Amino acid sequence: MAREYLKKATLTARSGASDVTETVQTILADIEAGGDEAALRYAAKFDKYDGNIILTADEIAAAADLVPDRLKDDIKFAHDNVRRFAEAQKATLQDVEYEVVSGLTAGQKAIPVDAAGCYVPGGRYSHIASAIMTVTTAKVAGCNHIVATSPPRPDTGIAPAIVYAAHICGADKIMALGGVQGVAAMTFGLFGLPKANILVGPGNQFVAEAKRILFGRVGIDMIAGPTDSLILADKTADPHIVATDLVSQAEHGYNSPVWLVTDDRALAEDVIQRVPGLIDDLPEVNSENAKAAWRDYAEVILCADREEMAATSDEYAPEHLTVQADDLDWWLNRLSCYGSLFLGEETTVAYGDKASGTNHVLPTSRAASYTGGLSVHKYMKIVTWQRASREGAKRVAEATARISRLEGMEGHARSADVRLHKYFPNEDFDLTADG
C-alpha cells in the first residue's frame, strides 16, 4: 500500500520564515566597521547588558560557586562522556604516507584549526549541553584557542551553569555576548580575541543567518534550521514511550517537526490520542511550544512494512532518528540518512542531547542526506603533501606536460618541462599534446 498520513503537517519548517538577511547583513557590516564599540552598542540594545564582555577569572569562579554540587557532577559526567567519544573519533583520523609510484610519496595530515568560536544559546533555555558539545570537541581536536560566547541576561550575565560548563570543558575565553554581535565578535577578532577560523553551535534564526553570510571567510559547522525528530516504531513499541519521546522533542520550538512512522495502525492511533494530554501536562512555557509544533508540523505516517518505513525515514533525513522496533541490527544496517541514530527503547534523543557522549549539534532540514553533525573532524583540516626523487617524478612530469598542453595550460606544462630538461639533459621527451 502507499503510505498513509494519519496526521499531516499543515506547515513546514520554512513556513512563515521572516527575511532576516538584510537585518543581519546590516549588523555585521556595522560591527566590522565599528569594532568593539559597535558590538557594545548592539549588546546594550539586544542583550540589555553592560557588564564585562570577556569574563574574568574571578567572575568565572563566582559563577561556579553558584552551581549546585550535584549539577557540577552531572556536567562533569556529560563532559567526560563527550570527551572520551571525541577522543575515539579523533583516533580514526590517521596521518597517511603512501608511495604512489616508485620514488614519489604522497601523504595526508590532519591539522586542527587554530581558533574556534563556540556559540551557546542562553535565551529561553540555558543550553548547558551546547557548551559541553562544542567546547569539548574543539579541545580534543587540538584547537589552540577556544572562545565560548553566550547571551547574557540583563544585570546577571551568562547563566552560571553555562559559564561553569564552558570553563571545565576547556574554553580559553568566555564572552557575554549574544546573537549576531556574538558571532561577529568571534569572526572579526574583537575584544582582543583571535579571529575565529570556525564558528560552531546552535542559535536562533539571526545566529544561523549570520553564520550563513560569514561562511567562506570563516568555516561553520552547518546552517541549522529548527530541530526535528523522527521515530520508527512497530507493534512491539510502547505507545506511551513513543508519545513521550515525540513530545520531548516538540518542546524545542513552535516550529520543530516531529514525525512518527509505523506499520501498525493501532500503535499510531494510540500515540495520537496520548500526545495532547502529555503536552498539557508540561509546564506552560514548554507546552506552548510543544502544542504548536504538534498541531502544525507533526506527522504520523502509516506504511506497509519496515522497508517502506525505512525508505520514508531516509527521504525525511531527520536530525534525530529513533528506532523502537524489532531486529535493531536490521535497522542499523538499512538506514542511511540521519544526524544521530538511537536504537531501542533503552536510549532516547534526550540522552544524546545532554549526556551520553555523541554530539547534539546535528544537521536539520534534511541536510542529513549529505552531511553528519559536529565532531572532532569538523575542527580538523585534512591536508595533503608529496615528495619525490627525480627518477620517481619523471613519468609524472611527462604526463603532466602532455595533459596540460591538451588543456591549453602551457605554463603548467613548462613547469614540468623545466624539470625534465634539468634532471635528464641527455634524454629526448615527446611532450606534445598529441604525441
Q: Which entry of 127, 167, 252, 320 is annotated as an active-site residue?
A: 320
How many other CB atoms are there within 10 angstroms of residue 2's CB atom? Answer: 7
> Of 145, 167, 209, 319, which is the active-site residue?
319
**Whole-number Å distance between alpha carbons of 174 and 162:** 10
- How is residue 146 annotated by DSSP? E
What's the CA gap between 196 and 219, in Å, rounded? 9
**Active-site residue, 79 included:** no
Pair 369, 317: CB distance under 8 Å: yes
Q: How many residues in the chain?
A: 435
Quote helix, strand, coil % in the chain, to nearest 5.
50, 15, 35
Element (DSSP H or E) covering residue 173: strand 173-176
> In the annotation, is 407 catalytic?
no
Amino acid, res. 29: A
Of 147, 144, 148, the closest CA to residue 130 belongs to: 148
Selection from 348, 352, 314 nearest residue 331 by Cα: 314
C-alpha cell at 112: 586542527
Cα angle 25, 172, 160 (rounded to 5 degrees) comes to 85
Residue 232 CA: distances (Å) to CA of 244, 266, 269, 361, 368: 14, 14, 15, 21, 16
> Which 3 state secondary structure label does DSSP give 322?
strand
CB 245 within 8 A of CB 260: no
The three-class DSSP label of residue 232 is strand
* CB atoms near residue 7 (< 10 Å): 18
- Residues annotated catalytic, as ranges: 319-320
